[in-house]
Amino acid sequence: MPQLNFIQAINSALAEEMERDPLTFLMGEDVVLGAFGATKGLIDKFGAKRVRNTPISEAGFVGAAVGAAMAGTRPICEVEFASFFYCAFDQVCNQAAKLRYMSGGQARLPITFRAVFGAMGGAAAQHSETVYAQFLSVPGLKLVVPSGPADMKGLLKSAIRDDNPVIVFEHGGLGRLKEEVPAGDHLVALGKAAVKREGKDVTLVAIGAMVPKALKVADKLAKDNVSVEVIDPRTLMPLDEETILGSLAKTNRIVVADEGHLRGGAAADIASMVAEKGFDSLDAPVKRVASLDVPIPFSPPLERAAVADEARIERAIRELLGN
């Protein structure tokens, strides 16, 4: 199996899917050179017709992706930084998400949006946001948050083949993380969580960049005889409730860790699902670990203070276990 980093995994998923279907095409700001390297070289394979630099006009080109999807093609639309979705909210939330429903099932919107999110070291608030929670109350979208190269590739390929609008959120801090990625047609189903590590004392649901952190915490706690089960939901919409609740039924304790903000965030959403549907399994209240409710600051110590980290995950677990 080849070792790939996050960016290479994206690149190979894009290349394979574009190879597979001539109606797929790539559009976005600077996709020809590839602002983060993920789309590098694709122009040489697929040509200028299918790899298109867009003007800096998010509402315009996101809307064009919507129209192109409705008219029978399969756009892969890169929005560079996920915070830029705010400039195109209407096209994502009012158009892409709703047109199938509002047309009584006539429209098909096979669009894959890709966007970089998260705190990545001094990018400051407008480039560091964890935006997916903003889309959680918009039915009609699917939301994907991969935590490593293998899942990245498999989830992105599934997203491209999906006939619904899917947003793939790529954490900007995971770029150099390397792991073995299965060769060939490696697909990871949307709506299926991964048990990243088995354990019996506490369930730790970790999203995106929190997954590698959660695994480190689990390693550390194992030395103190605390057995942590780490679950990566991989997609937030649809959410694999069954795997989360199944794990809880085994451990009876749960912590949800996310880089998004505490209020109204993805951790809040999962925690309330657990409280409602898993109450009988709970030996202690559900705990959330999330970023502070402040815009993500620029200065490194402030940024570190704002964003959820390993220490906070560890503390939450210890509090929950009373040790």
Q: Give me the residues that bind another protein (CB under 8 A), please.
A: 23, 25, 49-50, 52, 54-55, 57, 59-73, 75, 90-91, 94-95, 99-108, 139-140, 142, 162-164
Pairing of the two strands 166-171 and 178-180: unpaired
Q: What are phi and psi of 169, to 5 degrees?
A: -95, 120
Closest to another protein by CB, 102 vs 294, is 102
Inter-residue contact 78 to 42 (CB < 8 Å): no
CB of 108 to another protein, least distance (A): 6
CB of 107 to another protein, least distance (A): 7
**Residues belonging to the chain:** 323
Inter-residue contact 166 to 138 (CB < 8 Å): no
Crossing angle of helices 266-277/241-251, nearest 10°? 60
CB of 50 to another protein, least distance (A): 7
How many angstroms separate the CA atoms of 20 and 188, rounded?
Answer: 17
* Residue whose structure tokens are 């903000």: 261
Residue 59 tokens, joined: 């509402």
Residue 40 tokens, joined: 């590098």
CB of 269 to another protein, least distance (A): 18
Closest to another protein by CB, 3 vs 103, is 103
Closest to another protein by CB, 8 vs 164, is 164
Active-site residue, selected from the candidate residues 127, 171, 186, 261: 127
171: annotated active-site residue: no
Closest to another protein by CB, 26 vs 194, is 26
CB of 71 to another protein, least distance (A): 4
DSSP per residue, 143-163 = EE---SHHHHHHHHHHHHH-S
Closest to another protein by CB, 49 vs 263, is 49
Residue 27: which H helix or E strand, with range? strand 24-28
Residues taking part in catalysis: 127
